[in-house]
Amino acid sequence: MAQVASTCPDNDICFKLNIPTNTASSGSGNLFFQLSAPSSYEWVALGQGTSMVGSNIFVVYTSSGGKNVTISPRLGTSHIMPNFNDAAQVTLLDGSGVSGGKMIANVRCSNCDSWDGGTADFTAGSGDWIFAAHSSGGPKDSDDQSASIQQHDTQNAFSWSYANAKGGDSINPFVSSSSTSSTSPSTSPSSSIDTTLSSLATSTTTRSQPTTSNTHTNANNGSGGHSGLSSGAKAGIGIGVVMFVLLLVLFPFYVLRHHKQQLARKQRPHEPTQEYQKPELDGREVPRKEQELDGRELVVREQELSGRGVVANEPATSVSSELHGGPGRTAYETISDPRELADTARRAELSASPRPVEVGTPSLHSPQISSSQTRAMPNPLQDVAQQPDTPQVTTNSDQLKKLMDEKRRLEEQINNLEKGGDSSASNTR
């Protein structure tokens, strides 16, 4: 890989240098350098030496027609116009010419290690160089290497470091070089900035071209490889697959839940009958259902009347036909609510007699009478449950009056039954 050192001793004038590996090790051989200046200049020159006297000079100006350049090797003998040096072995290389307002000369010198009047040591770390130019007068536009030139209006001398210029075996390092280094002359320190900027610009331009080409190549290859589905179509297919998988996973759970709900609905009507006799259901009180009369009100059962017990195992005469003067008439037909019936009967008993009487159907809050306190007796009103529906009256005063009348009738009936029993016993004796 060729190493190229560059320097710009003047704002518009720049030079580049490459010393191949063989030349740097042996001290003799090919040497490559480049001269660059505005194409409006008459000429520009680069020379080996410390001054114009005894230097090896290379003058460049535009060729005939202004499309190319002419390289004119000359020897500096005094402070006069240098003359053409036909002993110099120099060649213009590819990349030379006029472009973008610049004239550029890529030069190979095969005997620059010595000339008539001086020598150069390419094994050393640096060397002495001079430059000059004539910026006015317009382009030279000549193919004559011995053409007359006007005196320079810009000139200077500088020391060029060879450390960044040595290396490589390229036949044209200014066209195929991939590494560029800059060196500033000792007489113009500020020129290093321009040299660096120029070097970076050249390197960036050179390297960006293959990168752009590669980018276009990759883009073309990529476009040829994706002739199938677009990215939007692939995304749609992916979403569809995900939705289908979710449906397969969640559908069995939905069916199972629906089946359980259907079973629960079928079993729900039977649940109240199974637990109807329980005192509580889900924290709510459920009334006890003890006796029904065709789905209507409950019958009042008296354990004792007037403090007298009923003879055990003695059948009681049905009084269903005597209640209110006709058959099928219950004693408490005017009350539809069993609890209201029980409370009304209890109040009637307490007001009529101080003797303890249990009236009404036992409820969740009413006290129960044990079998040891009362004698069991058949229910004389049990057959009332078979009577048809009767109209209801909602007057409370009438209910109390009827209750008292029925109480008296029941007492009279019991007395008649006891008297009849005594008469039967006397006849038997």
User: What is the residue-wise DSSP string for 290-318?
Assistant: ---STTSPPPP--S-BTTBPPPTTPPPPP
Q: What is the pLDDT of residue 266?
A: 75
Q: Tell me, what's the pLDDT at 354? A: 52
Is the separation of the CB atoms in 57 and 47 below 8 Å?
yes
Average pLDDT, the chain: 72
Distance, CA of 224 to chain centre: 32
Whether 82 contacts 74, CB under 8 Å = yes
Q: What is the dihedral of CA 169, 174, 175, 179, to 10 degrees?
A: 70
Phi and psi, residue 156, nearest 5°? -175, 170
Q: Can you give the pLDDT at residue 259? A: 84
Helix (H, G, I), strand (E, B) or coil at 31: strand
Please report the pLDDT score of residue 395 as a whole number. 56
Which regions of the chain are under pLDDT 70?
176-231, 268-342, 344-345, 348-396, 421-429
Superfamily, domain 3-208:
Cellobiose dehydrogenase, cytochrome domain (2.60.40.1210)
**pLDDT number for residue 42:** 96
What pLDDT sits at residue 226? 39
Report strand pairing: 90-92 vs 3-10. Answer: unpaired
Cβ-Cβ contacts under 8 Å for 85 (sequence gap 6 or more): 56, 73, 74, 75, 115, 116
Tokens representing residue 193 in the block = 């900035």
Burial class of residue 61 (count of CB atoms within 10 Å of its CB; 0-12, 13-18, 19+): buried
**CA gap 355, 242 in Å, rounded:** 84
Name the nearest CA neighbour of 118 among 207, 57, 29: 57
pLDDT digits (tens, 9 = 90+) for 208-238: 333 333 333 333 334 333 345 666 787 889 8
Among candidate residues 131, 146, 194, 148, the one with its CA nearest the CA of residue 42: 148
Name the 3-class secondary structure at 1: coil
Question: What are the residue ranges of CATH 2.60.40.1210 in the chain?
Answer: 3-208
Question: Which of 181-211 are b and which e, b meaning 16 or more Cβ less than 10 Å from the residue's Cβ?
Answer: bbbbbeebeebbebbbebbeebeeeeeeeee
